[in-house]
Amino acid sequence: MNPLDALAGRLLLQVGQPLPNIRRLGVRRAERLAVGRPADAAPALLGTLFTLCGHAHVLTARRAVEAARAAPGAELPPPPEADARTLQWRTAQEQVRRLLVDAPPVVDLSPATPVVLQRCPLWQGGGEVSAAALAQWLASDLLSMPVATWLAAWERDGEAWLREWSVTARSPVARLLRRLWPWASALRLPHRALRLHARDGSALALAAQLAADAPLQGAGGVPYATGPWCRQRDREAARVDNAWMFFASRLTDLVRLASPDGPATGAGLLACGAVNTGGRTGLAWTETARGLLVHAVALDEAHRVAACRVVSPTDWNFDPLGPAARALRDVRDAAQDARAVQSLVLALDPCMGWEAQARRQDQETAHA
């Protein structure tokens, strides 16, 4: 095991076994390093410890600290426009990386050439991104049509349109979706969309759950999942139920983030919330490329961090009773094991290393 797994953790995926069939190798509690430190220093430290989506960790940790300093039960306003825009563009960057760099080699395709990435406005201009330029790049390099046209067709016909587009478009992402379709579309992922709000009790309930170190997922019922397919301000979750659509939602998320028009696009698409959960404790959440990121913090009288908990999208999606585990349990054909694991990893995108355990001979006999 890599020594870094002691902090980052590592997933062991076991196909075709009863629940729980996902185990975490190592102890992922890097946030404990923030305990005892000045509260104002904690966000930068956590952004360093959690390098994937580090910008979102800094923002979420800072808002959790602010909430802990607020009046009991107080809800924080949305973050400043500059922070919202940074989150928007960094999230878009993450989706581009997944679609063009990380995912293609998993299915034996070549990643995008440096020339394609260099043309992308997300890596130009020193942090200032032109939405119009990004939309133009998407239209020419990824969609083969104007952003507004593509998005309107998706909103109208959903999976049917996306399938048709992936078959006909000359695009590296369309080619990737074509390659994934035969096996990823068959892997069902029933789930409930994870949503948090300050006013309906869900944020306070999660804070109490974390304080008690209780399991995230229940033993019965449909598990919670989080990702770009179930944004708080979007309706997409109801029509996404398979691994192919989970993965394709990264493209629809990117298109929405880049679209210059519409009330639920751009910075307004990504929800950020924070609430004081009693005394000197605060809970904050931010929608990231992988899904909902949560930070819970408690401060002492000297404004040092007394307790800290980070819950990543991976903690929900790859929980031993979560959607990935249930999908792996239901894979009956041993010949499909490798494809099922590939589909899950691409669809749910864990933020840590992973390995798959081969199905045992006695399992194959039992399933036969």
Phi, psi of 239 (to 5 degrees): -115, 20
Do 286 and 270 touch, CB atoms closer than 8 A? yes
The pLDDT score that the predictor gives to residue 20 is 87
**Cα R_g (the chain), whole angstroms:** 21
Summarize pLDDT for 215-267 with one digit per residue, the tens: 999 888 899 999 999 998 775 555 788 999 999 999 999 999 987 654 344 45
Rounded to two decimals, the pTM is: 0.91
- 87 against 356, higher pLDDT: 87
The first and second tokens of residue 96, run together, are: 């581009």
pLDDT at residue 181 in the model? 94
pLDDT at 3: 47
* Mean pLDDT value of segment 76-89: 92
Phi, psi at residue 362, to the nearest 5°?
Answer: -65, -30
CA distance 26 to 24: 6
pLDDT at 4 over 50: no
At residue 113, does pLDDT exceed 60? yes
What pairs with residue 304 in β-bridges? 38
pLDDT at 246: 95
The pLDDT, as a whole number, for residue 27 is 54
pLDDT band at 207 (very low <50, low <70, confident <90, very high): very high
Of 74-88, 110-124, 312-326, minimum mean pLDDT range: 110-124
Quick one: what percent of the chain has pLDDT higher than 70?
A: 90
Selection from 183, 184, 186, 205 nearest residue 195 by Cα: 205
Is 60 exceeded by the pLDDT of residue 363? Answer: no
**pLDDT score recorded for residue 260:** 61
Q: Are strands 192-193 and 292-299 parallel, antiparallel or unpaired?
A: unpaired
Percentage of residues of the chain with pLDDT beyond 90: 63
The answer to whether residues 106 and 308 touch, using CB atoms and an 8 Å cutoff, is no
Bigger pLDDT: 368 or 292?
292
The more confident residue out of 7 and 327 is: 327
Query: Does position 42 have pLDDT exceeding 80, yes or no?
Result: yes
pLDDT given at position 238: 53
DSSP 263: T
In tens, the pLDDT along 298-356 reads 999 999 999 999 999 999 999 999 999 999 998 888 878 888 899 999 999 998 888 88
Confidence of residue 100 (pLDDT cuts 50, 70, 90): very high
User: How far is 258 from 37, CA to CA, in rounded Å?
Assistant: 38
- For the chain, list the domains and their CATH numbers: 31-352 (1.10.645)
Lowest mean pLDDT across 130-144, 155-169, 191-205, 325-339: 325-339
Q: Which residues pair with 224 in a beta bridge?
A: 192
- DSSP element (H, E) containing 354: strand 353-357
What is the average pLDDT value for the chain, to the nearest integer? 88
Query: What is the 3-state secondary structure of 51-66?
Result: CCCHHHHHHHHHHHHH
Confidence of residue 165 (pLDDT cuts 50, 70, 90): very high
Give the per-residue pLDDT at 269: 80
Structure tokens at 110: 């070549």
> Tokens in use for 143?
């969609």
Q: Which residues contact 178 (CB under 8 A, 6 or more apart)?
A: 166, 167
Backbone angles phi, psi at 52, to 5 degrees: -75, 125
Contact, 19 vs 326, CB < 8 A? yes
Whole-angstrom CA distances from 366 to 16, 228, 351, 356 are 10, 37, 33, 20
* Cα diameter, the chain: 63
Please say if the pLDDT value at position 177 is more than 60.
yes
pLDDT band at 91 (very low <50, low <70, confident <90, very high): very high
Question: Is residue 336 within 8 Å of residue 183, measured between CB atoms?
Answer: yes
For residue 26, what pLDDT is reported? 61
Helix (H) or strand (E) holding 295: strand 292-299
Amino acid at 15: V
> What pLDDT is recorded for position 225?
95
The pLDDT, as a whole number, for residue 56 is 95
* pLDDT confidence bin for 270, thresholds 50/70/90: very high
